[in-house]
Amino acid sequence: MKEFKPKEVQLKLLEAYLNTETKIKITELCNKVGYKLTTYYYDCNNTGFSKWFSNAIKSNADRYAPMLYSSVISSAISDKATTEDKKLALQVLNIWTPTQKTVNLTIEDFLNEQEKELE
């Protein structure tokens, strides 16, 4: 099978998608980069395009992890944090799972350990 090579407009679509910080409809995204919506849907039926686009998005997902961690931790250590906020943070940080009866570390202890590792 021939390797898929994205067209310029497909590369623009991917770049626009990855640089969009909010949810956006595919219609708006296609219009933004000059990609006809009918062509986009036609291309989605192409296995090469679909795999390429999906893999490109997945491989870029890691760049959002620091923002996610920061947001979860900020929520958990705020004055308005609920027990559920704290549990979520502990789960995201792999400190605690719902099956555990006790927490091995507090969020503050975890953050202190992280700071020490950076020193």
Q: How would residue 39 be classed by pLDDT, with cut points 50, 70 and 90?
A: very high
Q: Which two tokens stand for residue 80?
A: 């308005």
Q: How confident is the model at residue 3 (pLDDT cuts 50, 70, 90)?
A: confident
Question: Between 107-118 and 83-92, two packed helices, what is the crossing angle to 10 degrees?
Answer: 40
pLDDT score for 7 = 95
Closest CA to 72 of 54, 57, 53, 87: 87
Do the Cβ atoms of 81 and 75 come closer than 8 Å?
A: yes
Q: What are phi and psi of 90, to 5 degrees?
A: -65, -35
Tell if the pTM clears 0.85, that is, is over it: no
